[in-house]
Structure 1
Amino acid sequence: MPSESTYPPIDIPDTDIWGLLFERKNKEYPDDKVIYFDPYTSRSYTFAQVKSTAIDFGKGLKALWDWQKGDVLALFTPNCIDTPAITWGCHWAGGILSPANPGYTVDELAFQLKDSGAKALVTQMPFIKVAMEAAKRVGIPENRVIVMGDGRDSSGAVKHFTSIRNISGTQRYRRTKMKSNEDLAFLVYSSGTTGHPKGVMLTHRNIVANVLMLRAGESGNLKWNGGPNNEGDKVLAFLPFFHIYGLTCLIHQSLYTGLQLVVMPKFDIEEFCKIVQNHKITFSYVVPPVILLLSKHPIVEKYDLSSIRMVNSGAAPLTKELVEALYSRLRIPVKQGYGLSETSPTTHTQPWEDWNRTIGAVGRLLPNQTAKYMSADEKEVPAGETGELWIKGPNVFKGYLNNPEMTAHALTADGYFKTGDVGHQDKEGNFYITDRVKELIKYKGFQVPPAELEGILASHPHVNDVAVIGVYNKDQATEVPRAYIVPANGLGKGEKEAREIIEWMNAKVAGHKKLRGGIRFVEEIPKSVSGKILRRVLKVMAEKEGEEVRAKL
């Protein structure tokens, strides 16, 4: 039988995102509370300022560009405190927001603009050249590319979003009402392991449900003072707002709960430490590579990070070794959560009080969902046995844009989403995610999860970072695990050092998990902006190495 959430069901109102955030009667904090704060400029937005700016921007969209329900506004920018007001201004006008990675090339951005059918594009001045070229390619007029943030176009050719807000004669415009269960709020693009990113269609109800589900899961236990609350907690936000994790867990959750979000445009280890110390940050949503840096990087010693009550890790599997390494060094507890773009995103989170009792678990199923683990032949497996996680709930997406075939493959007839993630649950209802279905290494019929091996290797004193992939061994006619390692300073990169780490590792794992593919030392591990290891890049490297070896024979 599928697992039901152990949380009591919650009431999900029939409202769009605007109604949830700005028209509710039970807001627990005053309108003049600062919600978004820029530590570099000290610029900020209170709740009231976000609301009025969003309304003005929404009216400007309707007046200037005849904005219609369902029109798509693309956002091509690093984190910025203007993002929330622009997002909800787009929603006020009935639009759909499609955030894009500011690291995209012209080709990559043009693909998303064309695929989403974007009618306009918002960016920042450092990215204007790429934005303009991509817009030109897909037929978005130059006057529909505008900028946000602190920079301005000195020539005046590119409008700032504040000028869109300040158009006269907009009083007659009213908010566009949305059907929460049908109308899209976001088109986020999920990078697949192959091919172009997929447009994930998220409705207003998906996001409304997930905000309320996450709030229920983060309410916590009194001995931990509960989860982050509106009575002084400050959350450091560096996870990208263009990714669903930052979009829901940071932008939406902060305004709904009344948390102050201290916004970094992108992660930098020293800036992170400096801001925590100077602004007395109490909480942060992070990814495993950040936990690794905090537990190993020498710069951390220079700063006082004692204000942090806890951090929550997501986006990729977090191992027991990393949790213990961070707590041992800084006494900062780490709890874990889990979710996907297709689930808006959060489906599971560890209760605050359970962080050290269920290390390695992604937590419990949030309310209003059911889940089950399925075998390769799509039969449900019992608790304790490994399978692919399938999830059903009001947070599950509507489908992939312009891709009915992939949608049909991902969603079952009875509404379950096939996550592609492998794991199990224990008898107490704690869920564990060990790897992606496609990333499991198949060694002579045994399944080897790369994340498990990475967790062990990361605890080695001479390893700064690591990724494990499967490489095909012709002699044994099977995949074997190979580790790509960023060595700690002072460690040689020769055969002797590799052999020492392999022997240390092989003593800690079962026979089928040994590093039969050897070790390669590298300068850095390729990762996505959300912290996921880009194994496909390493597989290309491995292929080239194999070709070079064959060429010498």
Structure 2
Amino acid sequence: MESTKYIGPIKKEKVVSHTLAVGQCFASVSSELSSVTASCEMSHTVVRGKPNAAQLHLDSVLDAILLEQGIKPSAEARSNVPLAQIMLHCFKQRPNEVFLSNAGTGKDITNEQHLKRAISIARTLTGMGLKGKYAIVEMRNHQETLAVYFALIFAGVIPFMMEPNATVYELTHFLKLVEPSIVFYDGEFEQAMQEATRACPELQPVLVAADQPGVLDNFTKGQSDDIASYRVAERAMDDTVILLPTSGSTGLPKAVILTNRGLTTVLPTIWTYHSRFPTPTRRMMILTTIQWVTFTMFTTTSVAYHVPIVMTPKAITADHVIEIMEKYRPTWGYLAPAFAVSLVPLIRPDQLSSFEIMYLLGAPASPTLMGNLKAKMTETARLCDGYGITETHGLIAIPDKDAPMKSNGWVLNFLNYKIVDDEGQERGRGENGELWVKGSSVFKGYHKNLAAYEEAVTPDGWFKTGDEFHLDENERLSYVVRKKITFKHMGAHVSPEEVERVICSIPGVHESVVCPSEKGAVAAVVLLPGADVTREQIHAVVNSTLSEHKRLHGGLAFVPSLPHTHSAKLKRNECSKLIEELIKSGDCY
């Protein structure tokens, strides 16, 4: 596979259109489709440079959908095909091919089997009058999860994808935020879901334990699963399609609004290195759970490009992932760096030998990890330290084949970008600055939180990623540091202010600050005069309230006071230095 250099360093904020010969773009499609599309502008999302082969293939899919509807393909028409139509069309093209392998059960699900299940659920949702309303999904990675997910998209119901194993505290927060009309969940979460819904008596969502035997069959009873007669719900390109959680700098996690326009723009992203379509790779391995943008991005692109996926409802352990690699021989996959660190010492080169491309995503990867993992892969396989964020529907930059090991590569060609200093002034090559991006994949907003959106996006549309990069002489990015106060532990987001709120809810606690450490979150706590609060009490409350990755694995220390600004805000940089000293002195545990 050849590297596609179309994503390179052209930064002008101008849409570039291209007319290409039929033979270049559509060798695999009908002569009717080729003759129509050869005269059309190509790849309407591209704002810098030329379209790559993956983007051109998606154009051919969009044009086929338009022709089925009797619409003459054009750049404008292509830009108005929503995700649900793309998914339904692509599922129907290859009914007998495997869509999903469940590595937990060993069962394969074909496109037709999956589509029939999803359509019957979608018809039920439509019959309930739920188009445009909200749902919460808390399920592990199995075939019923994906049937529910695609059914919601088909029916125009907006899912909020919830982290499996969320605590009652977290479930309650999101129930109040999203106000779902229906909740799909696995039976193992029954008790937590019941407790959370009792805490929200003003809400009365329909509860569906979707993985339990016979539950979905009963839910869809009387509804047809006929594929030929089914039509997806009409939705505009800027309508909300999915909500995903993300931690911000202002307290509890927020819900990011993802749209048809953004979701379709990123469909070709991960196939930037590929030139053979459809089915650019033999099998994709998906390990992240449903709340991650990698899950939604990769499951949808696998459908559009006819790539079978393998996933598992079991816990992601090194032994289980090695078992998946040996049995299913995936050719494309990704790992969180924290998990990769535990995997590398245990895995043999022959167990990794099927991979053509492996991404490290979700947190910065160290050069040592990159080197150790690449040493166990084949010489021709590519190991990429990609960079993306939920607010851009996924990936922002991918390293090309000539990029240095530590590089995150060029910003993808559907985004304009710049790096800026603390005053928002643009920096140049060879300098560091915060990365700002603008384009059709930038999110629409945070659900019910306009203030947070206005803080994150400038009036003229630049999204401030909060991450600082070095821009080299070839305009490749290399990650430097996270500027925002959120951080990641165990590959998952931690909002310091969320943890601080929990600590400060304990009687006797006056104030707290939470910072990252090598072991995870660490806190400095100020008690009220005369209060008798112990470390054990604080740990017990945090552990019973928050998920594992948010807990105080770095320890806590009691301090007499914390540094503040004149406006009474915490000086977080100074707090971080204070905690570093407390760790060195052994006072944090």
Structure 2 contact 115–147 (Cα < 8 Å) conserved: yes
Is 1:89 the counterpart of 2:164 in the alignment?
no
Q: Which amino acid aligns with 1:314?
A: L
> Secondary structure, in 3 states, of the residue corresponding to 2:194?
helix
Residue matched to 2:268: 212
Superposed displacement of residue 93, structure 1: 1.7
Name which of 70, 92, 98 aligns with 2:132. Answer: 70
- Of 313-322 and 431-440, deviating more is 431-440
> Secondary structure, in 3 states, of the residue corresponding to 2:428?
coil
> Secondary structure, in 3 states, of the residue corresponding to 1:389?
strand
Measure the CA separation in 2 of the matches of 1:175 and 1:28.
13
Structure 2 contact 249–485 (Cα < 8 Å) conserved: no
Q: Which amino acid aligns with 2:318?
A: I
Name which of 3, 7, 15 aligns with 2:81. Answer: 15
> Secondary structure, in 3 states, of the residue corresponding to 2:266?
helix
Residue matched to 2:108: 44
Question: How many pairs are equivalent?
Answer: 448
Superposed displacement of residue 98, structure 1: 0.5
Residue matched to 2:221: 166
Residue matched to 1:504: none
Is 1:254 the counterpart of 2:309 in the alignment?
no
Superposed displacement of residue 322, structure 1: 1.2
Structure 2 contact 288–295 (Cα < 8 Å) conserved: yes
What is the TM-score normalised by the length of structure 1?
0.72
> Secondary structure, in 3 states, of the residue corresponding to 1:409?
helix
Residue matched to 1:494: none
Residue matched to 2:385: 336
Residue matched to 1:197: 253
Residue matched to 2:98: 34
Measure the CA separation in 1 of the matches of 2:584 and 2:385.
41
Q: Which amino acid aligns with 1:230?
A: T
User: Deviations 1:278-320 (Å, cap 9, x if unpaired)?
Assistant: 2222221111112212323xx3259733222331111111122
Measure the CA separation in 2 of the matches of 1:322 and 1:209.
31
Structure 1 contact 288–313 (Cα < 8 Å) conserved: yes
> Secondary structure, in 3 states, of the residue corresponding to 1:315?
coil
Structure 1 contact 6–364 (Cα < 8 Å) conserved: no
Superposed displacement of residue 423, structure 1: 0.4
Name which of 178, 181, 186 aligns with 2:235. Answer: 178
Provide closer, same or farther for how the CA distance between residues 374 and 129 of structure 1 changes in structure 2, counting only shifts above 3 A.
same
> Secondary structure, in 3 states, of the residue corresponding to 1:114?
helix
User: Deviations 1:247-273 (Å, cap 9, x if unpaired)?
Assistant: 11x211111111111112241100001
Provide closer, same or farther for how the CA distance between residues 51 and 312 of structure 1 changes in structure 2, counting only shifts above 3 A.
same
Measure the CA separation in 2 of the matches of 1:385 and 1:145.
53
Measure the CA separation in 2 of the matches of 1:333 and 1:115.
41
Provide closer, same or farther for how the CA distance between residues 421 and 116 of structure 1 changes in structure 2, counting only shifts above 3 A.
same
Structure 2 contact 92–112 (Cα < 8 Å) conserved: no
Superposed displacement of residue 390, structure 1: 0.4
Q: Which amino acid aligns with 2:50?
A: P
Structure 2 contact 165–189 (Cα < 8 Å) conserved: no
Q: Which amino acid aligns with 1:260?
A: P
Provide closer, same or farther for how the CA distance between residues 168 and 323 of structure 1 changes in structure 2, counting only shifts above 3 A.
closer
Q: Which amino acid aligns with 1:134?
A: A
Structural mapping, 1:460-539, within 5 Å: 484=518, 537=552
Structure 2 contact 83–264 (Cα < 8 Å) conserved: yes
Name which of 406, 409, 413 aligns with 1:363. Answer: 409
Measure the CA separation in 1 of the matches of 2:444 and 2:366.
32
Residue matched to 1:276: 325
Name which of 175, 187, 198 aligns with 2:243. Answer: 187
> Secondary structure, in 3 states, of the residue corresponding to 1:379?
coil
Residue matched to 1:447: none
Residue matched to 1:292: 341
Provide closer, same or farther for how the CA distance between residues 410 and 57 of structure 1 changes in structure 2, counting only shifts above 3 A.
same
Measure the CA separation in 2 of the matches of 1:37 and 1:136.
36
Measure the CA separation in 2 of the matches of 1:273 and 1:125.
27
User: Deviations 1:200-244 (Å, cap 9, x if unpaired)?
Assistant: 1111111111113444x2426xxxxx7x97276122211112211
Measure the CA separation in 2 of the matches of 1:148 and 1:200.
25
> Secondary structure, in 3 states, of the residue corresponding to 2:192?
helix
Structural mapping, 1:284-323, within 5 Å: 284-296=333-345, 299-301=346-348, 304-323=351-370
- Of 140-149 and 361-370, deviating more is 140-149
Structure 2 contact 181–205 (Cα < 8 Å) conserved: no
User: Deviations 1:406-450 (Å, cap 9, x if unpaired)?
Assistant: 11111111111100011022222322222210369xxxxxxxxx9
Structure 1 contact 21–256 (Cα < 8 Å) conserved: yes
Measure the CA separation in 2 of the matches of 1:256 and 1:87.
15
Superposed displacement of residue 45, structure 1: 2.4
Q: RMSD of the alignment, in Å? A: 3.7
What is the TM-score normalised by the length of structure 2?
0.68
> Secondary structure, in 3 states, of the residue corresponding to 2:143?
coil
Measure the CA separation in 2 of the matches of 1:329 and 1:173.
47
> Secondary structure, in 3 states, of the residue corresponding to 2:375?
helix
Superposed displacement of residue 78, structure 1: 1.9
Name which of 346, 358, 370 aligns with 2:395. Answer: 346
Superposed displacement of residue 95, structure 1: 0.8
Superposed displacement of residue 542, structure 1: 5.8
